[in-house]
Amino acid sequence: MLMALRASLPGVHLRAWARRPEAAAVLMERGFADLASSRLEEILPGVGLVVLCTPVETMPALAAELVTLQSLVAPGCVVTDVGSVKTTVVTALEDAFARSTYRFVGSHPMAGSERAGLEAARVELFQRAACLITPTLFTEDTALATIRAFWALLGCRVLEMSPEEHDRKVARISHLPHVAAAVTALAALHEDPSAAACAGNGFRDTTRVAAGDPALWTGILLENRDEVRASILAARDLYNELLAILDNVDDRALRHFLQNAKTLRDGVV
């Protein structure tokens, strides 16, 4: 994100918090931030916008720490996040910031890849990516306008929906694909890892996201477990339908099944 911010907003003073001092030092050395530290009190003075880019399960504790340091930030400081789950995160963070000077708005840019760390940073990361903003009845209009403008400046297509709608949609277009990629990799290679030598681009494309950080995805899938479970059950029903088609050697039904999938996939922007 810092690389994209530097390119899109060259005049903005960027500060970064990292869990480890070594990581903060690297951010400074590479010019990703004007100031980086593992101590929040060193980077918060005068800050007007905070973006939480940590695993979803760690955000409530980080928000609580931010509240203890609220006297350091600019009045009306806006906070957003990039978490892949919204209902639990937004509820927890709205509660954490409710009696503070911070103004929270949930958001989720649909960008990135299975790779993590500074080596995966890309200037064009957010260009034409959808960013899902999840306001609630507690969201202030000025804070919402700030977050809309922020993601638009980074090149995102901004969409708005409730946290619940976000989790339902993202379970199907992000979380389910990760699960499907993991299942495909296991089904294809678990009994015969040597089959990987035969893999072509189809297998690589289909299973690419299975290479994502298991710890990160454990948190995401558990936080959104109800919607993820519903999407897996829907996929199970389709697998059962496909098995029945194959058992019946029904070429017409199979062609229809595949055509429906192609038509839906062709509609993806």
For the chain, domain boundaries: 2-162, 166-266
State the pLDDT at residue 18. 93
State the pLDDT at residue 5. 85
Q: What is the pTM of this model?
A: 0.91
Distance CA 16, CA 70 (A): 17
Q: Which CATH architecture has domain 2-162?
A: 3-Layer(aba) Sandwich (3.40)
Which tens digits make up the pLDDT trace of 13-65?
A: 999 999 999 999 999 998 889 999 999 999 999 999 999 999 999 999 999 99
pLDDT above 90 (res 96): yes
Topology of the domain comprising 166-266: 6-phosphogluconate dehydrogenase C-terminal fold (1.10.3660)
Q: What does the mean pLDDT of the chain come to?
A: 94
Region for residue 51 given its phi and psi (left: phi exceeds 0; alpha: psi -120 to 50; beta: otherwise): beta
Distance CA 260, CA 266 (A): 10
Q: How confident is the model at residue 119 (pLDDT cuts 50, 70, 90)?
A: low
Q: Pick from 158, 152, 113: which is nearest to 132 by CA?
A: 158
Which tens digits make up the pLDDT trace of 226-257?
A: 999 999 999 999 999 999 999 999 999 999 99
